[in-house]
Amino acid sequence: MERISKAAFRRLPRYHQILSAYESVGKEFISSRELSEILEINETLVRKDMADLRIRGRQNQGYGITALRVRIENFLGLQEITETLVVGAGNLGTALATYAGFSQYGLKIVGMIDSDPDKVFSTVGEHTIHPVSRLGSLIRKRDIKMIILTVPLAAAQEVTDVCVEAGVRAIWNFTPCELQVPPGVKVRNEQIIGGFMALSYYLKNLAAEEGNEEKEA
């Protein structure tokens, strides 16, 4: 399997999104310089990332936008559909379940789960809310490998255990819980408050920082 550095891996979503934006306005090529300016990183670093992805550019033109976008998608496995359940039908779960942008990345939400009897069997957009008692059987029936976790903190570990027991291998964790999982199960923490903390630090140190700001902490 191909290998790129962890740091390069983290840059792929941003490359992908810039490429999509440029593609949608009909641009065909983009130079390492343009990419580096948008991302505010070094130009050489962009070329190195491309080399790691085994993408060749053209002299005087740059990199083919569509080819590069498709390369990133294939590298990340986005061309294959990933079926998932949204576990927790609160505000955030509802926002994620109704977000139209996921389908272009192969992410397909096949149902929602909630413990509240008043919500169960109602629908959110086109998704039915199932009772938490059916969580395990739904995962098994559809062979679901990933769940989106948006339950309250207190329920997070318990729900995770059920999912892992049923065969889930990846957890997209929107709760502020440091989940315990066995080896072979990957957790991605979206600790949203971290973003605010970085901005708070910046704002509270504005006077001291003035003159040496950076866009990315």
- Interaction partner, residue 140 (DNA, a copy of itself, none; CB < 5-8 Å by kind): none
The two counts, helices (H) then strands (E), for the chain are: 9, 9
Q: Which is nearer to a copy of itself, 133 or 197 (CB)?
A: 197
Residue 6 is encoded by which pair of tokens? 């962890």
Q: Which is nearer to a copy of itself, 51 or 217 (CB)?
A: 217
Looking at the DSSP assignment, which residues form a beta bridge with residue 128?
123
The distance of closest approach from Cβ of residue 12 to DNA in the complex, given in angstroms and rounded to an integer, is 12
Residue that has been written with the tokens 């309250």 in this structure: 152
- Which of 22, 63, 172, 174 binds DNA (CB under 7 A)? It is 63
Question: Which residues ranging from 22 to 51 are in contact with DNA (CB under 7 A)?
Answer: 31-33, 41-45, 47-48, 50-51
The distance of closest approach from Cβ of residue 117 to a copy of itself in the complex, given in angstroms and rounded to an integer, is 21
Are the C-beta atoms of residues 201 and 216 closer than 8 Å to each other? no
- Interaction partner, residue 132 (a copy of itself, DNA, none; CB < 5-8 Å by kind): none
The distance of closest approach from Cβ of residue 44 to DNA in the complex, given in angstroms and rounded to an integer, is 4
Q: Can you give the C-alpha Rg of the chain in angstroms?
A: 20
Q: Which is nearer to DNA, 6 or 210 (CB)?
A: 6
Which span sits near DNA by CB under 7 A: 4-12, 108-116, 141-149, 152-160?
4-12
Looking at the DSSP assignment, which residues form a beta bridge with residue 58?
62
- Interaction partner, residue 205 (a copy of itself, DNA, none; CB < 5-8 Å by kind): a copy of itself
Scanning the chain, the segments in alpha helix (DSSP H) are: 6-24, 32-39, 43-52, 65-76, 91-97, 135-142, 153-166, 193-204, 206-209
Q: Which is nearer to a copy of itself, 78 or 162 (CB)?
A: 78
Q: Which is nearer to DNA, 41 or 110 (CB)?
A: 41
CB neighbour class for 114 (10 Å; exposed up to 12, middle 13-18, buried from 19): buried
Longest alpha-carbon distance in the chain: 62
